[in-house]
């Protein structure tokens, strides 16, 4: 399973809002390296991170092989929309390559420095690229093209309209312009291989 598979699954669901629980269950069922996914509320400094994912090993019994558990921690003060988005974004890191994984103290320091200094694209680490990609992957998974199409015709950004859409989709309002903007279809094409519609 790769992200394109998860996106297509989300886009084919017959739902008004994509449930994070279904995405989680799909990853557990079909991702070859993830045996379970956990979400944990904890106290985090939102100036540094709203959430993160770490792997740990588990097994169902002493006689079974160990498997990876994706343990996602999110700040307990997040509202429903932010909690849903942050958990989904962190879930997208199950698709990281080994070079993109933030799995040591040194890598954490490098990524935090990049998040604060915003390097040029040719200077960014694979971990930094993964952070940006994971945001778009979460947006695509939570609002696939089928759902986006309900809102895009005649869309004109305004605080009132963006808030209305954010409330309906249970996604932070700050991301609505990205969902409705010109970069959505480009992100879809790059991250899934799905071609953009003609004329976009």
Q: Is the predicted pLDDT of residue 24 greater than 90, yes or no?
A: yes
Least confident of 12-16, 47-51, 81-85, 145-149: 47-51
Span 170-182, average pLDDT: 96
Output the pTM of the full model.
Answer: 0.86
Residues 117, 104, 69, 33: is their CA dihedral positive or negative?
positive
- Residue-wise burial string across 124-148, b where 16 or more C-beta atoms lie within 10 A, e elsewhere: bbebbebbebbbbbbbbbbbbbebb
Cβ–Cβ < 8 Å for 74, 44: yes
Instruction: Give the start-end residues of each E strand in the chain.
Output: 36-42, 51-58, 67-75
Q: What is the mean pLDDT of the chain?
A: 88
88/83 Cα distance (integer angstroms): 8
Q: Is the predicted pLDDT of residue 199 greater than 50, yes or no?
A: no
Span 9-34, average pLDDT: 96
138/51 Cα distance (integer angstroms): 13
pLDDT value for 200: 47
23/12 Cα distance (integer angstroms): 12
Condensed to tens digits (0 to 9), the pLDDT of residues 93-132 reads 999 877 777 766 677 677 777 777 777 777 777 777 888 9
58/129 Cα distance (integer angstroms): 29
10/141 Cα distance (integer angstroms): 6
pLDDT value for 34: 92
161/165 Cα distance (integer angstroms): 6
């Amino acid at each position: 399973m790769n992200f394109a598979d998860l996106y297509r699954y989300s886009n084919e669901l017959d739902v008004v809002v994509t449930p994070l629980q279904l995405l989680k269950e799909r990853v557990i069922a079909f991702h070859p390296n993830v045996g379970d996914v956990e979400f944990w509320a904890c106290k985090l400094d939102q100036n540094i991170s709203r959430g993160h994912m770490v792997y740990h090993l588990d097994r169902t019994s002493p006689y079974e092989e160990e498997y990876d558990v994706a343990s996602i921690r999110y700040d307990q003060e997040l509202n429903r929309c932010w909690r849903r988005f942050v958990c989904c974004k962190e879930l997208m890191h199950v698709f990281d390559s080994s070079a993109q994984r933030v799995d040591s103290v040194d890598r954490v320091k490098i990524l935090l420095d990049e998040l604060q200094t915003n390097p040029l694209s040719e200077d960014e680490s694979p971990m930094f690229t993964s952070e940006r990609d994971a945001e778009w992957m979460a947006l695509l998974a939570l609002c696939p093209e089928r759902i986006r199409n309900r809102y895009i015709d005649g869309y004109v950004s305004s605080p009132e309209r963006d808030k209305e859409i954010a409330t309906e989709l249970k996604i932070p309002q700050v991301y609505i312009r990205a969902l409705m903007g010109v970069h959505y279809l480009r992100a879809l094409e790059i991250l899934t291989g799905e071609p953009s519609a003609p004329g976009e």
